[in-house]
Amino acid sequence: MNIYVANIPWKASEEQLKQLFAEYGEVSSAKIIMDKVTQRSRGFGFVEMADDTAGRAAISGLNGFDFLGKVLVVNEARPREEGGNRGGGGRGGYRGGYNKD
């Protein structure tokens, strides 16, 4: 089960996150999302639990948990939608042609 974790303290490591979730069952992976430019934590991440029962227990036990001074928000991760609709497509600006009259 893939779990979304928000409000992760900036000082937290992926290993600390993994250890926290390991209290509920086997953790396949723990990933804190980093800013591409600053390489600092963006304050959220994902934990993959080996089975759904452990994942549900972790969500129940850790949602609202105070972790290193911040209250975690823990939910089942929703799969990304195909296509990654980012909007846009508009060209903006004046698009009129030349008028001889």
Q: Global pTM? A: 0.77
Half-sphere exposure of 74 (CA within 13 A, CB side): 25
Q: What does the pLDDT read at residue 80?
A: 75
**pLDDT by 10s per residue, the chain, length 101:** 999 999 999 999 999 999 999 999 999 999 999 999 999 999 999 999 999 999 999 999 999 999 999 999 999 998 877 655 555 555 555 555 556 65
- Among the CATH numbers 1.10.490.10, 3.40.630.30, 3.40.50.2300, 3.30.70.330, which is that of 2-76? 3.30.70.330
* Residues 1 and 69: beta-carbon distance below 8 Å: no
Where exactly are the structural domains of the chain? 2-76
Q: What does the pLDDT read at residue 79?
A: 83
Other Cβ atoms within 10 Å of 5 Cβ, number: 28
CA distance 48 to 37: 26
